[in-house]
Structure 1
């Protein structure tokens, strides 16, 4: 792959760079550069408000969701132009955290399955950050088995009535809309009785309870549905074909998450470059250098694996299972790196929130947030199965419940 810009790409890069330079909220640049996974806040400003303002400004100028069609709020740009934009946006791209699910997962699913009327109504405000979307898949009893969900959707006239519970729903507490996977036929095998919908998160009967995390934040939520009505017109795909619809969401999810997860390596390298150990500068210690070299290789591998996925997109291919590699490697990498940084800091690693403990607070926040990263979008075990079966072509796991009607799968004890 040739990584040099073509003349057209160089022209696009120059335009993007000039617009960002003239319009980005520079007053927050240094804070954004210092923010990390698990710790993103702005002094004297609400992070979500700043993010929405920046997204709206981009949308008004034609720089939002670059790869989306213009009719739906995008620019109709190529995948490579989208990468160029992300490179030039730099630290300001961290303001997009609230829109990742909507732009990377819900939007593509709506484009593939929603009516034209709904696409034109919902996609432009989504692209502009005026409306935020979430993804309602995981459930307490299902674990990593998405198809094991129990939230019910029953048809009553022209509506569907929803009852059940979702968990670990990122951003539900500030979302306007969401895509929802439900069970509509429990008498068939679990993958065949699912149906997808989209709905307003302000619908009567929805209760959202934020989950308090170890790092003090509440990014995830429990969501309860009690007799929530959804018009049949808001169904995505055919009845009982929700699993196939969800594959569009999941493939885009793994690409969005895998390509966007911070690894912590740049922060660790900078930290080690300035850290003094008892024996001298950390960067001159053989053990430290060996660790840095190991993680540098993994970070490089992630970069070029992502480039391979981008090349596939540029050929018009759908995001594939190989994107699980980025999710698997980056998730474990940031946990290992943050734990190692805390070891290097010693007692200072327990400090957080003080101006004199900037690095300590950063890596502590990373470590406390890292377990969630390894679960959201699919656990490490799910990612390994996907890579083994769909990338490497290895035999699949034994799934004894695959062809059994869902309502006959034992739920307690042993059968």
Structure 2
């Protein structure tokens, strides 16, 4: 009898624990699905007719790699005062390798600095208080105070589908970073949340961070942060269960467009539209641009013109052997501008990032999985004298 009572007591405690966990998950899901606390509009140039631009290439180079890192991938850019920038990427012996770390390099206006270490499995584990098995994609953003926010994909157990997003910040222009939190995105122990593409700034100093889920199914998301860097709400982008790595641009103060990597048999750039500032989304027909499960990047220039970097596919080539720059005035019809990189089948020029700094356009991407390439262009608009 005492054993029976003891067994019932354990079962009751287990049931209570499950109910508490489920209740907390339900409250968290409700909080995130009711975006009422932070409703700012995009801080990009919107409205009016987009002005045509011409791009003149000024330079191209490879960002200096740290020693003993034969593999490099997934770059991101953050602006600094004086039209300087920071680039972040991961590098190590191979993807998911135990020695993979996030590195940074500073652009001074004419050259890149030597790379320095920003985060590793060990450094994240020390600050988080639990083991980190692998680290991956970084995404960076500079807020209105000059604080750099760095979002890094990290896993404890399992593959990338078990990832979490670690939010770090730096008030020393990237010299030192401290962990702020693991983003609370999923009731399933915050797993299967990843980042890849650049945020979009808001009028009040906040920003939208594109993200995605990929445990079993795949779908894109958008997370809204307030000016203090606090996450306030997130929304699923569309209803597709085979798209990921969204890249976002504002069409107007309320209309937002997202373009996605396609993991389906359609193999085209997928897109979705929000008419209420990112709260609700509807899927749109795919663009007439090939996408064989590869990441892409977009930016809206100060002139209003949209640019997209994406992998083009041709007969005899492969999914990442051509990196193409296309432009659009309406975010609907896209025209070929130039092939940033072009190789043979099996070559890789992938995971691009775009950043406008003054009258220059900066492009970074993975070069053959061995380094991060950087191209710099002068932007000349037809409205310029």
Q: Which has the higher contact order (CA 8 A, sep 6+)?
A: 2
More strand by share: 2
Q: Compute the TM-score of the two structures, normalised by the length of structure 2.
A: 0.25
As a proportion of its length, which structure holds more helix?
1
